[in-house]
């Protein structure tokens, strides 16, 4: 039996933790061990907190981008800098 996703390679000679290349080791075994150890140390509350902070950061960056786009549009319409004061040079 062969797996089409693996290019038709036979299942009998493959192993889930090894790469398809016979002479290389991609370090998947050590990553599995490290992931298992981290799963024992990191609890769900820590992961939830990290995801909340990442979400807040993403929202803040999006808001800043939108504010910059609005400021650029206003400066194009008025011919002046929209934010930051400074001189009002007309074009």
pLDDT tens across 58-80, in order?
999 999 999 999 999 998 888 87
Which parts of the chain are beta strand (E)?
2-3, 9-10
Question: pLDDT tens-digit profile of 42-61?
Answer: 888 888 999 999 999 999 99
The answer on 51 and 70 residing in a single domain is yes
The answer on 71 and 37 residing in a single domain is no
| Residue 33, in any domain of the structure | yes
Using the Cα atoms of residue 12, residue 14, residue 20 and residue 22 in order, give the sign of their dihedral. negative
The answer on 37 and 51 residing in a single domain is no
- The reported pTM is 0.47
CB-based contacts of 3: which residues, under 8 Å, 6+ apart? Answer: 9, 11, 14
- Whether 20 and 6 have beta carbons less than 8 Å apart is answered as yes
Question: Which domain covers residue 37, as residue numbers?
Answer: 1-41
Q: What is the CA radius of gyration of the chain?
A: 27
The answer on 37 and 49 residing in a single domain is no
Question: pLDDT tens-digit profile of 20-43?
Answer: 555 555 667 788 888 888 888 888
The answer on 18 and 50 residing in a single domain is no
Tell me 85's DSSP state: -
């Amino acid at each position: 039996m062969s797996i089409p996703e693996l290019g038709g390679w036979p299942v009998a000679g493959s192993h889930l933790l090894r790469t398809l290349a016979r002479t290389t080791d991609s370090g998947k075994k050590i990553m599995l061990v490290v992931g298992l150890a981290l799963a024992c140390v990191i609890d769900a509350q820590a992961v939830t907190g990290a995801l909340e902070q990442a979400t807040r950061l993403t929202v803040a960056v999006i808001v800043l981008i939108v504010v910059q786009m609005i400021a650029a549009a206003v400066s194009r319409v008025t011919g002046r800098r929209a934010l930051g004061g400074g001189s009002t040079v007309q074009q």
